[in-house]
Amino acid sequence: MRTQRAKTRQMKDDWGRIARLQIADLARSMLAGDLLFMEGSRSISAIRFMAKIENDFDILPLVRIDIESDTVPFGKISDLWNRNTLAQLQSEIDRKESWAVTWRDLTVKILFGVLDNQPRSRM
């Protein structure tokens, strides 16, 4: 019979695998242009802890993009914002997305390497 501790550990391992699969799906969508790079970076940054890659240096560019873009709305959250405010922010949103995309190829390719290997910490 499995102890509660073993069940909890297995559940966390399962969540980690699911989170890594979600990150891989997000990265594919980002590379294909189906998902704004800022939006994908923000999502990956949020679930990196479950994927057990929060301390990996390779994930830090996506965390930086999340932090640098946290003042502007995009994706579904922008539906909740006032249209006039969004119009005023559009040039900043475009500028931040353009900046974020400059990281795309390098970051997403490295990310697939991180997900393929056992999570590691370099901090």
pLDDT for 1: 54
Local confidence band at 47 (pLDDT 50, 70, 90 cut-offs): very high
82 compared with 113, residue with greater pLDDT: 82
- For residue 119, pLDDT over 50 is answered with no
Local confidence band at 43 (pLDDT 50, 70, 90 cut-offs): very high
Residue range 61-91, pLDDT digits in tens: 888 888 988 888 877 788 888 999 999 999 9
pLDDT for 2: 67
Report how far apart the first and last C-alpha atoms of the chain are (Å, whole number): 37
pLDDT for 109: 66
Question: Which distant-in-sequence residues (6+ apart) come within 8 Å of 80 by Cβ?
Answer: 73
Q: What separation in angstroms does the CA of 84 have from each of 74, 81, 92? A: 14, 9, 14
pTM over the 0.85 mark: no
| Residues 40, 75: Cα–Cα separation, whole Å | 10
- Summary mean pLDDT of the chain: 82
pLDDT for 115: 61
